A and B are shown apart, each in its own frame.
Chain A
Amino acid sequence: ETVLTQSPATLILSPGERATLSCGASQSVSYNYLAWYQQKPGLAPRLLIYEASTRATGISDRFSGSGSGTDFTLTITRLEPEDSAVYYCQDYGRSPALTFGGGTKVEIK
């Protein structure tokens, strides 16, 4: 089972800045099957990115994913207050062992 380590645990930024979130895998993610989700308090997660870099339907181009192998990045440009949330990465390349990272909390102040 792949262990996903997300860093930093918390990111505090100002509106308009860029956020860079990292997701490191304990072994190579097959086919770059890495997804990113956003979760706001009290709500269900929302898919942002799949296959490491493909934006999901309706997702703003301020969100972008990159990386391959064991190192992946979610970048959020021109931060807005509504981007405050916890962000999770998920490895789905080793079905049936699906794993999530521990999350990065982004606060916009």
Chain B
Amino acid sequence: EVKVVESGGGLVKPGGSLRLSCAASGFTFGSYSMNWVRQAPGKGLEWVASISGSYSYIYYGDAVKGRFTISRDNAKNSVYLQMNSLSVEDTAVYYCAKGGGRYGELYFDYWGQGTLVTVSS
């Protein structure tokens, strides 16, 4: 059974930093991309970042480029999102999601339950 579990969310002040973690199991972790998608309160889905299984590519959405860093540790079946220079616009539920395609196609077939990040003074 595939499982994806996020952690690390919380309340942070504008300009602050936070690191999210995502632990995955039930599949060959290093063979698939891992991704972060967020959802602001009452809003739709917004793709944040992706990292391939073999570290061959890392992609970011325009809204977070230069502030967020995605990384992974295949030995620990984990992916991380380091978020710096946070603003109120970053307030959202952050979902970790497994990439569905064996060849790197970036649709998302398994999602975690999400972790809430609130940026407020």
A residues at B contact (CB < 8 Å): 1, 33, 35, 37, 39, 43-47, 50, 56-57, 88, 90, 92, 95-96, 98-103
A65 to B101, CA, bound (A): 18
Q: Are A96 and B59 in contact (CB under 8 A)?
A: yes
Q: Are A100 and B106 in contact (CB under 8 A)?
A: no
* Chain B residues within an 8 Å CB radius of A100: 44-47
A98 to B61, CA, bound (A): 8
For the complex formed, measure the closest distance between the CB of A102 and the CB atoms of chain B, giving whole angstroms: 5
A–B complex contacts, Cβ < 8 Å, 18 sampled: A35-B100, A44-B95, A44-B112, A45-B37, A45-B95, A45-B111, A47-B107, A47-B109, A50-B100, A50-B105, A57-B109, A88-B45, A98-B47, A98-B50, A98-B59, A98-B106, A100-B46, A102-B44
How many interface residues does B have (CB within 8 Å)?
25
* Chain A residues within an 8 Å CB radius of B111: 44-46
Q: Are A88 and B44 in contact (CB under 8 A)?
A: yes
The listed residue with most B CB atoms (<10 A of its CB), out of A44, A57, A96, is: A44
Q: Are A103 and B44 in contact (CB under 8 A)?
A: yes
Give A43's nearest chain B residue, CB to CB: B113
A100 to B45, CA, bound (A): 6
For the complex formed, measure the closest distance between the CB of A103 and the CB atoms of chain B, giving whole angstroms: 5
5 other contacts beyond A56-B100, A57-B109, A100-B45, with CB at 8 A cut-off?
A88-B45, A90-B45, A90-B107, A96-B60, A98-B61
* Chain A residues within an 8 Å CB radius of B107: 33, 35, 47, 50, 90, 92
